[in-house]
Chain A
Amino acid sequence: MSSNKSKETERYVRKEFRKSFSLGIFFLVVTLILPILNQFAGGFMFKKLFGEMSVTYAYSVLLIYIVAWIITIYYVIRTDKEEEAH
């Protein structure tokens, strides 16, 4: 492979990795922090948020899903646009 193509590929892979890695780490933190918060911030997590629904319950049955969908849409639309522009 020519050195130009090689450099172009390396730049592209690095850029893609930065994007995927930052979004992936953010989501893993959102997901994996839940058991940690339950363990060490129980007072806050078990507070009622809406009616009978506690913060931790809303987090596990709503927030994780909503965050995942937002990241998904953001990632796919951004990647589509970047690929178009490339």
Chain B
Amino acid sequence: MDQPIATALVGVIVAISVTVAFLSRKFARSTSEFYVAGRGINAIQNALALSGDYMSAASFLGVAGLVWAYGYDGIWYAAGFFAGWLVLLLFLASPIRRFGAYTIADFVAGRFHSKSLRIAAMIGTLMVSLFYIIPQMVGAGELLGLLLGWEYIFAVVIAGTLITLYVVLGGMRATTYNQIIQCILLWTAMFVVMALALGKFNFSYNTLLGTVADYTEPGRWLDFKNSFALIFGLVLGTAGLPHILIRFYTNPSGRSARWTTVWTLLIIGTFYMMTPVVGLAARSLLGDTPSTTNLVLPLLAQHVGGEWMIGIVIAGAFAAILSTVAGLVIASTGAIAHDLFTMLVPGASDKRQVLVAKLTSVGVGVIAILTGLVFRGYNVAFLVGLAFAIAASTFFPVLMMGVWWKGTTEQGALAGMIVGMVGSAIMIATSLMELHTLKNPSIITVPAAFITIYVVSKFVGKPPKDTMEFMRKVHMPEKVHEAKGD
């Protein structure tokens, strides 16, 4: 397809992203600025940035496509992606912010004073981030190639270079401002397509449902066991995604981190509520026309709004990819340049750490581009599922137990992380080999990790001596610390 409007809009996004990065460059001169934007991002800004970070191409194109293909069974994804945020709010948002570090490895290492846990958390962060980056880059290449006629390699290189440029130039602050703009763009694109599509049914949801009645009941794709396992994995996976968790460090306080989650739930909730409407409207208006699920939204946009609408949707998809990959590049950079480097070279100056962070971002950007090229044509949904399953199994249990149970020991935490990480990888690999039919392993590996942490902690090692200091730091309100001189 030749899409001059879409090409122009993608060009505008590129120009805005580079300008924001250029204007933010003076802020990326200290580690605090580079990783957490000086902890000066307010709740609404952070909610918009988090929403942009979270709503990847899988959310923007994938969910509507799945609803088009499988009807009700695709809606599980929308509900699961959304519901995980409440778990994050209730159990982890404030404590993570109050700890006030840069990475998830900082958090677990700070709780248990353990190098082994820092290394395990670093490996987990890199695994989750990498499995999340690959489908975004593959998506960028395929989408821009198919819709704009760009060469696959060219599209992947452009997307990877742009993201790397603005992370290196402006660090977390540039990434945040770009994610805010990208979030507004992709939410608006989804809203306009939904409104135009509903217009074809006289703005009656009921009329729309009447035209696709067969698609509003479950069972076209997932059986009972896999529906349950999928929603379980998505709900807990969200609360273990490193690139999402580290954004809470950018808030000024624990209270601000809570309000960030409230606004995020509103933004992404309204977004995911629109996706079934769009998917079912595509089923009704396009029938079996789209050749793949990823093309459903652009084709519906073209059907209801012509060339301008498809342009806006392609620009929205591009924005979704940029915002998510930028968040993942920052998370991966933190894992290498902060967690590993500061362990190997303790006492390195702040200036040197920023330099290492920027060089690492370039390295991660190159890896993102290379993986995008190597994994061309790979099953994208599988990789996203893998990232969620590993995140839910590796990080969620150890963070929950570390934050809420004072009896957790270093050995218990480490054993739980290893069981979660290795167990989910094995379960996914054996599922691919068709040794079992469970598509999402979290329903087994998350409870296994929790049980492991509990049992090992009961019998091996002792909780760190300063556990109560840690508990006080992450749970008590900031003003108590100030008043009582903690």
Name the B residues within 8 Å of A32 (CB-CB). Answer: 228, 231-232, 235
B132 contacts A by Cβ under 8 Å: no
Name the A residues within 8 Å of B306 (CB-CB). Answer: none
Name the A residues within 8 Å of B82 (CB-CB). Answer: 64-65, 68
Size of the A side of the interface (Cβ < 8 Å), in residues, is 45
Contact: B228 with A35, CB < 8 Å?
A: yes
User: Assuming the A-B contacts A56-B218, A57-B72, A72-B261, are A23 and B90 also in contact, with contact meaning beta carbons closer than 8 angstroms in the complex?
Assistant: yes
Name the A residues within 8 Å of B266 (CB-CB). Answer: 69
- Provide the B124-142 mask, 1 if CB < 8 A to any CB of A, else 0: 0000000000000000000
Name the B residues within 8 Å of A51 (CB-CB). Answer: 206, 209-210
Contact: A68 with B265, CB < 8 Å?
A: yes
Name the A residues within 8 Å of B383 (CB-CB). Answer: none
Taking the closest CB of chain B, its distance from the CB of A44, in whole angstroms, is 13
A36 to chain B: closest residue by CB: B228
User: Assuming the A-B contacts A72-B86, A73-B262, are A20 and B91 also in contact, with contact meaning beta carbons closer than 8 angstroms in the complex?
Assistant: yes
Contact: B228 with A68, CB < 8 Å?
A: no
- Provide the B86-120 mask, 1 if CB < 8 A to any CB of A, else 0: 11011100100000000000000000000000000
Q: Contacting B469 at CB < 8 Å: which of A1, A38, A68?
A: A1
Contact: B83 with A39, CB < 8 Å?
A: no
A23 to chain B: closest residue by CB: B90
Name the B residues within 8 Å of A64 (CB-CB). Answer: 79, 82-83
Taking the closest CB of chain B, its distance from the CB of A63, in whole angstroms, is 10
B223 to chain A: closest residue by CB: A39
Size of the B side of the interface (Cβ < 8 Å), in residues, is 54
Taking the closest CB of chain A, its distance from the CB of B330, in whole angstroms, is 26
Q: Contacting A60 at CB < 8 Å: which of B75, B85, B209, B486?
A: B75
The A-contacting residues of B in range 442-469, CB under 8 angstroms, are 466, 468-469
* Cα distance, A68 to B80, chains bound together (Å): 12
User: Assuming the A-B contacts A20-B91, A39-B224, A83-B255, are A54 and B216 also in contact, with contact meaning beta carbons closer than 8 angstroms in the complex?
Assistant: yes
B436 contacts A by Cβ under 8 Å: no
Taking the closest CB of chain B, its distance from the CB of A9, in whole angstroms, is 4
User: Assuming the A-B contacts A38-B218, A64-B79, are A1 and B472 also in contact, with contact meaning beta carbons closer than 8 angstroms in the complex?
Assistant: yes
The B-contacting residues of A in range 42-76, CB under 8 angstroms, are 46, 50-54, 56-57, 60-62, 64-65, 68-69, 71-73, 75-76
* Cα distance, A35 to B255, chains bound together (Å): 34
A22 to chain B: closest residue by CB: B90
* Cα distance, A53 to B217, chains bound together (Å): 10
Name the B residues within 8 Å of A36 (CB-CB). Answer: 224, 228
Taking the closest CB of chain A, its distance from the CB of B480, in whole angstroms, is 6
B374 contacts A by Cβ under 8 Å: no
* Cα distance, A69 to B262, chains bound together (Å): 8
The A-contacting residues of B in range 461-486, CB under 8 angstroms, are 466, 468-469, 471-472, 475-477, 479-480, 484, 486
Q: Contacting B213 at CB < 8 Å: which of A23, A52, A75?
A: A52
- Provide the A8-45 mask, 1 if CB < 8 A to any CB of B, else 0: 01101100110010011001100110111011000000
User: Assuming the A-B contacts A35-B227, A68-B83, A71-B86, are A9 and B216 also in contact, with contact meaning beta carbons closer than 8 angstroms in the complex?
Assistant: no
B404 contacts A by Cβ under 8 Å: yes
| A-B complex: 5 closest residue pairs judged by Cβ atoms | A51-B206, A52-B209, A83-B477, A35-B227, A20-B90
15 A–B pairs (Cβ distance < 8 Å), ordered by A: A5-B472, A9-B468, A12-B475, A24-B86, A27-B90, A28-B87, A34-B231, A51-B206, A51-B210, A52-B213, A53-B206, A65-B269, A72-B261, A72-B265, A79-B258
